[in-house]
Amino acid sequence: MGKEVYGEGLIGLTRGFMYAGASRVVSSVWNVDDRASAQLMARFYEAIFGLQASEKRKTRPISGANIGDGYVGLNINPVRDGYVGGLDHFGMTVDDVNVVMERARKNFPESNIVKRPSTRPFAAYSAHDPDGNVFDLAEQNKTALDGIYADQTSEAPPPKRYLNKFAIRTMHAEKCADFYMEVFELEPLNKKTSVPGYHLTDGRVMLSILPWSIPVFEGMAIKRPGPDHFGFKVESIDALKQDIADVVGGCSYLAPMPMGGAKESDVRKALLAKSSTGKYQLTDPCGVWIDVTDE
């Protein structure tokens, strides 16, 4: 551990031993239990956004955490070998998977679908859009979601804080927008926005399809195409900020990762703000971008 210096790398205790003449130095940081990290992230979303835990979380401790707002479920998984952390994919529930995929194959033959392993309780199928963005598909009344998300489903009005957005960056944004409109009958958002891209909705949750190209990331490390951020609707931005202060005051481990304050970090913060349809942006403790609105 130490200070990161451009052109030099990490300057710290290890470098000191090398300067002192040591021929070999083995340095390490402590291990982090990813299962514990998943549970910690669940606590963050419960405490800040009021998401509720599934009863199955108690019986599936090695499989991460399952929380939701009664309409959208959030599955927080431990990082597996060969994968990276962060937003991974989204999913949808449909009446008939065969009907949906027939629409997809008719006009978008480059899209495809595969049966998921039987050990996955959330969705029976995974598919991808014309740009390769992955999403899960579950059939209404044919999924094994009892006690995971189905116990949260309700016809009641939305809670005061709920998931309302999922954003992806992709090379052919217009074609992907056409795909989701034709195949899943999503509608263009009935609201003007200066955010580039296409913004679709099922009436409650927005799917933002943002353009991806290298110049978008000028001044910062390149983000690969795929999931970019997600968002929440809250009753009040001020109330949310106060709750964050109260929660962090009681448990600093639940503090959002800071944004801005350094040259490249400022660029990332500005990009998120430019790409957001909400009024306030933050991260979770693991750095996942979150866009919040109270309108």
Q: Region 75-86: what's the mean pLDDT?
A: 83
Same domain, 167 and 101: yes
Say whether pTM exceeds 0.85.
Answer: no
Residue 29 pLDDT exceeds 70: no
Same domain, 195 and 67: yes
Residue 78 pLDDT exceeds 50: yes
CATH number, position 172: 3.10.180.10
The model's confidence at residue 118, banded by pLDDT at 50, 70 and 90, is low
Selected residue with higher pLDDT from 143 and 102: 102
Same domain, 17 and 72: no
Split into its structural domains, the chain has a count of 2
Q: Which DSSP letter does residue 146 get?
A: T
Percentage above 70 pLDDT, the chain? 78
The set of residues, in sequence order, having a beta carbon less than 8 Å from that of 100 and lying 6+ positions away, is 94, 137, 183, 184
CA distance 171 to 169: 7
Which tokens go with 214? 């290298």
Same domain, 41 and 127: yes
Q: Region 236-259: what's the mean pLDDT?
A: 96
Output the average pLDDT for the chain: 84
Residue 8: predicted pLDDT: 47
Burial 56-79 (b: 16+ CB within 10 A, else e): bbeeeeebbbbbbbbbbbbbbbbb
CA distance 259 to 278: 16
Which tokens go with 144? 């094994």
The set of residues, in sequence order, having a beta carbon less than 8 Å from that of 58 and lying 6+ positions away, is none
**Helix, strand, coil share (%) of the chain residues, nearest 5:** 30, 25, 45
Same domain, 113 and 10: no
Task: Residue 6: give the domain boundaries.
Answer: 1-30
Residue with tokens 């609105």: 293
Q: By mean pLDDT, which of 4-8, 55-59, 228-232, 250-254 is the weakest?
A: 4-8
The model's confidence at residue 150, banded by pLDDT at 50, 70 and 90, is very low
Residue with tokens 């409109």: 181
Same domain, 51 and 74: yes
Kindly provide the residue ranges of all beta strands, DSSP E only, lying in 86-161, ordered along the sequence.
90-94, 112-115, 125-128, 134-139
Nearest Cα neighbor of 180 from 163, 158, 197 is 197
Same domain, 16 and 140: no
CA distance 1 to 181: 49
Which tokens go with 61? 């401790």
Same domain, 12 and 113: no
Residue 287: predicted pLDDT: 93
Burial (0-12, 13-18, 19+ Cβ within 10 Å), 150: middle
Residue 160 pLDDT exceeds 90: yes
Same domain, 88 and 218: yes
Residue 14: predicted pLDDT: 53
Q: Region 1-8: what's the mean pLDDT?
A: 48
Same domain, 149 and 252: yes
Report CA 190 to chain centroid distance, whole Å.
24
Q: Region 4-31: what's the mean pLDDT?
A: 52
Same domain, 48 and 2: no
Same domain, 9 and 71: no
CA distance 254 to 191: 34
